[in-house]
Amino acid sequence: MLGDATVGTGCEVTSVPAEALLYREVPPPVDLATHIACLWTQTVRTDEPYVHRVLPDGCIDIIWYAGSLHVAGTDTGPFLARLVPGLRIAAVRFRPGMAPGVLGIPADVLRDDRVALAEIWGSDADRLSDQIAASDQRTATRILARGVGRRLRAASVPRTQSPPPSVSLCGGGWTYASSPSTSG
């Protein structure tokens, strides 16, 4: 996320500095790089809720926020996300075309939609969400990546190809190897 976000209630509009949003992308674990473009986190450090415009990127994300996991399908237009102070988000972004094999549903079913992951994965999503809720953000993305890895292995989705080139899907920040280790 670059620059400032705009906040407004009625006619009053203020600016939210980018540093108040604490958005960070990091590369995925090497063994998942053919399917996952990046892991990302965001913490909202504003005094008031605001609406963030999410632009289409051709990717599907699994996003943990407000205590549960959701799948954000590919968008054909901007999506307006209402973010509240203190909101903590952890997510994985799939490379284009890679999510259906992990999720077990076609991508077009998710187009322009947000779906609770529990509707797709059932109780596995609830268990994963509980683990994430009990962790810090960096650990949360690792837990989420491990959950995706388990689903890949269970689905026998091939992971032998080289990852497609990333077009600014992953940024800098802490590296997966340097993040805290967890069990589970």
Residue 15, pLDDT score:
57
Taking the whole predicted model, whether its pTM rises above 0.85 is answered as no
CB 113 within 8 A of CB 103: no
Count of C-beta atoms within a 10 Å radius of residue 115? 16
Residue 157, pLDDT score:
53
Residue 34, pLDDT score:
94
CB 29 within 8 A of CB 8: no
Query: Would the pLDDT of 145 be above 90?
Result: yes
Residue 164 within a domain? no
Alpha carbons 68 and 129: distance in angstroms, whole number = 6
Residue 141 within a domain? yes
Give 17-48 pLDDT, tens digit per residue.
666 778 899 999 999 999 999 999 999 888 88
- Mean pLDDT, rounded, for 71-75: 95
Residue 173 within a domain? no
Residue 44 within a domain? yes
Instruction: Find the domain containing 129 and state its range.
Output: 20-155
CB 126 within 8 A of CB 84: no
Residue 59, pLDDT score:
94
CB 34 within 8 A of CB 162: yes
Residue 175 within a domain? no
129 contacts: CB under 8 Å, gap ≥ 6: 64, 67, 68, 69, 117, 118
How many domains does the chain contain in total?
Answer: 1
Q: 171 pLDDT band (50/70/90 cuts)?
A: very low
Alpha carbons 150 and 153: distance in angstroms, whole number = 5
Alpha carbons 62 and 99: distance in angstroms, whole number = 9
Residue 42 within a domain? yes
Query: Would the pLDDT of 174 be above 50?
Result: no
Alpha carbons 93 and 91: distance in angstroms, whole number = 7
Residue 118 within a domain? yes
Residue 183 within a domain? no
| Amino acid sitting at position 146 | R
